[in-house]
Amino acid sequence: MNYIIIGYSVAAVNAIKSIRSLDSKGKIYVISEEEKLYSRPLISYYLAGKIKEDEMNFVEGNFDTKYNLKVYYSEVAKSIDFDKKLVYLYGNKKLSYDKLLITTGGVPVIPDIKGYKSYIEGIFTFTKLDDAKNLLNYIKRNKINQAVILGGGLIGMKAAEGLLAHNIKLKIIDITDRLLANTFDKEASCYIEKKLNQHGSEFISNNTIVEIFSKNKKLESVKLKDNKKINTKLLIIAVGVKPNIEIVYNTKMKTNKGILVDEFMNTNLDDVFSAGDVVETKNFITQENSVIAIWPAAAVQGRVAGLNMVDKKFKYDGMFGMNSVEILGVSSISFGLTNVQQKDGFEILVKKDSDYYKKIVIKDNKVVGVILVGNIERGGIYGMLIKQKIDVSSFKNELLRDDFGFLILPKDFRKHLVLKEYLEV
């Protein structure tokens, strides 16, 4: 068997492990646009100076050799012939496959802003290690002490983590009324906003950038929707990512926002699978199709895809959105459905003080959403309750306890959960 994987990150790594657990002899070819394998969630720590580049790997150093891979680093797959089962690379290279996995990830969304040009010095995105390297060099070279981040979602806040470590004052701008709008509520956002203000930084809500001003190809300032002008030499555009489906444009591959896959990570084409940030698949809680561009989802999807590429029927049961960031010493984690109303059949439990906020969302006696700000040590147990759809009615009053954890669960639940394979997560 010839296995080809386009894209080399966590989904690909988990697919490779799955394939090799069942097929030790098949040939695996990996095409990677980047020059090395690394953990993308760690780029904010690299930017902050908390880790070095050689500490960013998430597999053993001999991974390619151990799993008998042929990796084409710094190569780009330019097209696929699904009928002939060929992948074409630049430089007249072509590879044939029996099974193909597309894990091309996501690419930054660049909004239509007057005056924006990709060549303007001082404008960055923040999704790859090269982004962090270029950003760090720019900060040092230009002695940057203040910056603007467009986007208060996960990417924007991860960029903020790194910049704040250099004592750079930030103006974070978002079109919504809160930070981390996908899984934060307004009250949780206020805890982070308070810390930003104490640092001399600012969150500007319900606003966006409508024009960029530059001189001699260098950034000078930005204008907001409310006509306010901000002078800055550094702008990070972090309004989100979109699935990188360029390679399957104008082909027989079915796509919506991302590549459409079934519960086996199959696409609509024979012997072609997809996983990671490029796919659109079901949300575990809502059961609706969506793009959930997070590391844990990509890892599980890759593992499932790899098993099914070797004809082991293994289902992916979905994932839910998650955020985890630390801003100025304030840790937070949030996942699931958190911006809901009680009138829609949800029960909302809240515990808070000046430094701590906990919100548990319940529907039909099952936890469907959680926000923890200030203390995230118990985050894993709540995620487990969501993933296992545990009926919490018998211990609902315990959910807000500071020491809530595995041992507080009824004995029968603990016995049942210990046997579950998912605990490896």
Q: What per-residue string of b and e applies to 59-70 under the rule 16 or more CB within 10 Å gives b?
A: beeebbeebebe
State how far the Cα of 36 lies from the Cα of 105, in Å rounded to an integer.
15
Instruction: Report the chain's C-alpha Rg in angstroms.
Output: 23
Last residue of a domain, one of 207, 239, 271: 239
Indicate the DSSP class of residue 258. S
State how far the Cα of 193 lies from the Cα of 179, in Å rounded to an integer.
8
What residues make up the domain containing 368?
331-424
Tell me the two tokens of residue 260: 């459409």
Tell me the two tokens of residue 63: 């991974």
∠ CA 301-378-298, rounded to 5°: 10
Q: Are residues 285 and 392 in the same domain?
A: no
Q: Are residues 102 and 127 in the same domain?
A: no
Tell me the two tokens of residue 373: 């700000």
**Parallel, antiparallel, or unpaired for β 357-363 and 347-352?**
antiparallel
Q: Are residues 305 and 335 in the same domain?
A: no
Count of alpha carbons within 13 Å of 81, Cβ hemisphere only?
9
Last residue of a domain, one of 239, 259, 278: 239
State how far the Cα of 168 lies from the Cα of 163, in Å rounded to an integer.
6
What global pTM score does this model have? Answer: 0.91
State how far the Cα of 213 lies from the Cα of 225, in Å rounded to an integer.
14
State how far the Cα of 302 lies from the Cα of 8, in Å rounded to an integer.
11
Q: Are 271 and 102 in contact (CB under 8 A)?
A: no
Beta bridge partners of 336: 369
> What is the model's pLDDT at position 418?
52
Q: Is 323 exposed, middle or buried (0-12, 13-18, 19+ CB in 10 A)?
A: buried
Q: Are residues 145 and 215 in the same domain?
A: yes
CATH at residue 262 = 3.50.50.60
Residue 350 maps to a domain? yes
Q: Are residues 229 and 249 in the same domain?
A: no
State how far the Cα of 236 lies from the Cα of 219, in Å rounded to an integer.
11
Q: Are 29 and 12 in contact (CB under 8 A)?
A: no
Q: Are residues 35 and 184 in the same domain?
A: no
Query: 3-state DSSP call for residue 284?
Result: coil
Local mean pLDDT, 10-residue blocks, the chain (425 residues): 97 98 97 95 95 94 96 96 96 94 97 96 97 97 97 95 96 96 92 95 97 97 98 97 95 96 96 97 90 93 97 90 89 91 90 94 95 90 89 91 80 61 39
Indicate the DSSP class of residue 381. H
CA distances from 105 to 97, 294, 349 (A): 20, 10, 36
Last residue of a domain, one of 239, 270, 287: 239
CATH at residue 389 = 3.30.390.30
